[in-house]
Amino acid sequence: MTADPTEAGSGSADPDLPESFARVLADYERHLAVERDLTPHSVRAYVGDVTGLLEHAARLGHHELDGLDLRLLRSWLAKQQTLGLARTTLARRATAARVFTRWAARTGRASTDAGALLGSPKPHRTLPPVLRRDEARDLLTEAATHAADGTPEGLRDAAVLELLYATGIRVGELCGLDVDDLDRERRVVRVLGKGRKERAVPFGKPAEDAVDAWLVRGRPELAADRSGSALFLGARGGRLDQRRVRELVHARIAAVPGAPDLGPHGLRHTAATHLLEGGADLRVVQELLGHSTLATTQLYTHVSTDRLRQAYRQAHPRA
């Protein structure tokens, strides 16, 4: 849903900021919410990081954006580092600073783009745990067993797990699906992803069967006036909550012997890894997952290589 321009920036200004900075920050928040159409969560994250930067500049005696130079930006990041913040957090804040200074220069609020040469600390990227193929099969078999009693919750949970693994979509994307987003004839689901970018993701016959069972025998039992067009419903008939999906995934995976404890994002990692292991092209996987850059998708090639290396060491006599 597009942010209301009358609400963007309201009540978020830091009272300790100089008035000149507070005005700029309010303008920037409106830009993020209205012009870039970012989610409220993303707006809060960007504004929070920039507020910290402007507070740092004010403490050093600066009250105008032209006081933000590369040296000041680096001192701000260095201060964050002394507080023991993770490298991923520092990298995010460096990105937020660059986005802000680029906007300030482009809109004439600053004479130069101070962040153009600002580097980011490279985060330590840990390889996400994923299910093996047999563990994924056992997970879905377990879900089908719970659905066999015909309860609407069991049918829904089986459909949720099948669709998460079949498509690799995010939990927020899954909970935001409407019934009309399913093209059951072509076995494609229309997903609204990050940045409100729409993409079409295919799914297979097992997921189709599970979703059909939910729509025919499960959803009508939970549907209420508040259900609207939501594909997946909670116990009271409203749109299924992300927290409930996370609880479901953790609970079902816990029943699979030896499987790592994963949430919905772990199933997304698993789907991507199994696609690449099955020979899918990296750019195809990028499009299916809705990644804006190929670099994000390449993480899964590292996962596949790591699993291959582990299997080699266990099996080869001269590994």
DSSP E strand stretches across 156-310: 182-183, 188-192, 198-202
One-letter-per-residue 3-state SS of the chain: CCCCCCCCCCCCCCCCCCHHHHHHHHHHHHHHHHHCCCCHHHHHHHHHHHHHHHHHHHHCCCCCHHHCCHHHHHHHHHHHHHCCCCHHHHHHHHHHHHHHHHHHHHCCCCCCCCCCCCCCCCCCCCCCCCCCHHHHHHHHHHHHHHHCCCCHHHHHHHHHHHHHHHHCCCHHHHHCCEHHHEECCCCEEEEECHHHCEEEEECCHHHHHHHHHHHHHHHHHHCCCCCCCECCECCCCCECCHHHHHHHHHHHHHCCCCCCCCCHHHHHHHHHHHHHHCCCCHHHHHHHHCCCCHHHHHHHHHHHHHHHHHHHHHHCCCC
Q: Is 258 helix (H, G, I), strand (E, B) or coil?
A: coil
Across 248-285, b (16+ Cβ under 10 Å) vs e yields bbeebbeebeebeebebebbbbbbbbbbbbeeeeeeeb
Q: How confident is the model at residue 312 (pLDDT cuts 50, 70, 90)?
A: low
Condensed to tens digits (0 to 9), the pLDDT of residues 243-265 reads 999 999 999 999 999 999 999 99
Q: What is the reported pTM?
A: 0.62
pLDDT at 108: 94
**Per-residue pLDDT, 74:** 93
- Domain extents for the chain? 19-106, 133-265
Residue 101 · residue 110 · CB < 8 Å: yes
Lowest mean pLDDT among 12-16, 205-209, 286-290: 12-16
Question: Is residue 90 scored above 50 in pLDDT?
Answer: yes
Instruction: In whole angstroms, give the CA distance from residue 295 to residue 297.
Output: 5
Determine which of 51-55, 94-98, 308-312 has the lowest per-residue pLDDT on average.
Answer: 308-312
Structure tokens of 142?
A: 């377990």
Contact, 15 vs 6, CB < 8 A? Answer: no
Write the single-letter amino acid at 271.
A
Distance between CA 242 and CA 249 in Å, rounded? Answer: 11
**How far is the C-alpha of 201 from the C-alpha of 288, rounded, in Å?**
6
Of 194, 199, 250, 307, which is the active-site residue? Answer: 194
pLDDT of 188 higher than 90: yes
CA distances (Å), origin 79, targets 73, 76, 97, 120: 10, 5, 14, 14
Residues 292 and 305: beta-carbon distance below 8 Å:
no
Of 62, 156, 170, 239, catalytic: 170
Which pLDDT score, from 0 to 100, does residue 12 have?
47
Q: Chain centroid to CA 37: how far? A: 16
Q: Which two tokens stand for residue 72?
A: 């000041």
Higher pLDDT, 129 or 313: 129
Whether residue 56 lies in the annotated active site:
no
pLDDT, tens digit (0-9, with 9 covering 90-100), for 120-164 = 766 555 667 889 999 999 999 999 998 998 899 999 999 999 999
Residue identified by tokens 């066999």 is 148
Percent of the chain with pLDDT over 70: 86
pLDDT at 4 over 50: no
Q: Catalytic pick from 28, 46, 165, 300?
A: 300
Q: What is the pLDDT of residue 318?
A: 65
Question: Does 194 qualify as catalytic in the annotation?
Answer: yes
Point out the least confidently predicted range of 3-12, 84-93, 243-252: 3-12
Would you state the pLDDT for residue 319? Answer: 56
* CATH homologous superfamily, domain 133-265: Intergrase catalytic core (1.10.443.10)
Residue 247: both structure tokens together? 């609880």
Q: Please write the tens of the pLDDT for every residue from 13-69.
A: 455 789 999 999 999 999 999 999 888 888 999 999 999 999 999 999 999 998 899
pLDDT value for 100: 96
pLDDT at 201 over 60: yes
| 197 counts as catalytic | no
pLDDT of 15 reads 56
Q: Annotated catalytic, 291? A: yes
Which residue among 109, 219, 268, 269 is the active-site one? Answer: 268
